[in-house]
Amino acid sequence: MATPSLGPSATSETPAPATRSDGIDLDPRSAIPLAIAVALLAITVWFIRSIPRTLSALAIASLLAFALNPLVEALKRRTGWHRRTAAGVVLLSTALIATVIAALITVPTIHEVRDFNKQIPKTVKDLGQLPIIGPRLREANASQKVQQWLNDAPKHLDANSKPIEHVAGAIADGVVAAMFTLLLAITILIDGEFIVGGVRRLVPARRRAEADRMGRLVYQVVGRYIAGTLLVAALAGVVMLTGSLVLNVPLAPLIAVWVAITNPIPQIGGFLGGVVFVLLALTQGAVVGVIALAIFLVYQQLENHVLQPLIIGRAVRLSPPATMVAALVGVAAGGLVGGLFAIPLLGATKAIYLSTRSPTEDEKASAPHAA
């Protein structure tokens, strides 16, 4: 059997085997798309992780815009200015008022905080006169231990700076979140008509009249809820400020602001404000603390059983059990922001449902009378 010939091309022109490279052969032209892909992936991950926080900021900004929008509309009707001009005047006036209030609160707060080092041990000593816990506090030398802890606190903070770093980081993070929320609120307030017009154009023409009516219902319910909530919060702040001034409680303006800020928080807002009021009242003695506790409990009963149903309940047209259930469900589902939005959303849903079942008064008046 003849052996097949390989031919000259198979013997003399066989290419040399390629040398194996230990490194990764990367085309420089693919570096730019790869970098863009990595950057897009990082941005996407950051956006997904920040969605809850962004939604919370957007929700709070919407509430602020709803609260200020009636002032903008009233100023626009009175003066005939453009909406952006009226919104700018309202925003500047609000910022000026907030700055003045902050200045009035900060100065006395700084002076009174300096006296805390003397007031707290005295308060603990006064608590030693109480009938039940007093003997135990005296036996444990609680007043001396508190004074020693206050004297050693600066040394502990100097030795361990991590608590200060954590607090500073939390404050900085809060300031950034607050600025972002304010920016969103300003944007919504100034360009609200443009945003609503854009959303309205997405609705089919045959449905726009019904969508406008539903939008007005939601705006009215949410607006009344915000106005009622702010009114109740202001009343709570005034009551606590009056009680603090009468009882000579330190940091009275700060207490009023704190109570007004925490009051709208569903279920626990009153407790958060009252605890600070009572604890600071205890620095003036046990008797003053008990009186402050009585003032807080009486006002809390008045707010829960009279003011809330009368003002907020009528604003959203919900019964007290319904508002309580809505607040609990909202807090469980979306935290603080969920609790704030649950009640007005339930009220708006109820208003829309009732409007679809029966015609409004305007529709009844415009309908032709039967022969």
Domain spans of the chain, in order of start:
51-202, 208-358
Q: Which two tokens stand for residue 147?
A: 């004074």
| pLDDT value of position 55 | 76
Rounded to an integer, what distance in angstroms lies between the CA atom of residue 204 and that of residue 320? Answer: 38
Better-scored residue on pLDDT, 46 or 106: 106
Alpha helices per DSSP H over the chain? 8-11, 31-49, 51-79, 83-114, 116-127, 134-139, 142-159, 162-190, 192-202, 208-247, 252-262, 269-282, 286-302, 314-316, 320-357, 361-366
Most confident range (mean pLDDT) of 48-57, 120-129, 145-154 is 48-57
Question: Nearest to residue 244, comparing CAs of 304, 287, 307, 291?
Answer: 291
Most confident range (mean pLDDT) of 136-150, 184-198, 216-230, 233-247 is 233-247
Rounded to an integer, what distance in angstroms lies between the CA atom of residue 122 and that of residue 282? Answer: 10
| pLDDT over 70 at 168, yes or no | no
Q: Mutual orientation of helices 252-262 and 208-247 as an angle, nearest 10°?
A: 150
Q: For 134-151, what is the mean pLDDT?
A: 65
| pLDDT value of position 238 | 92
| pLDDT over 80 at 277, yes or no | yes
| pLDDT over 90 at 64, yes or no | no
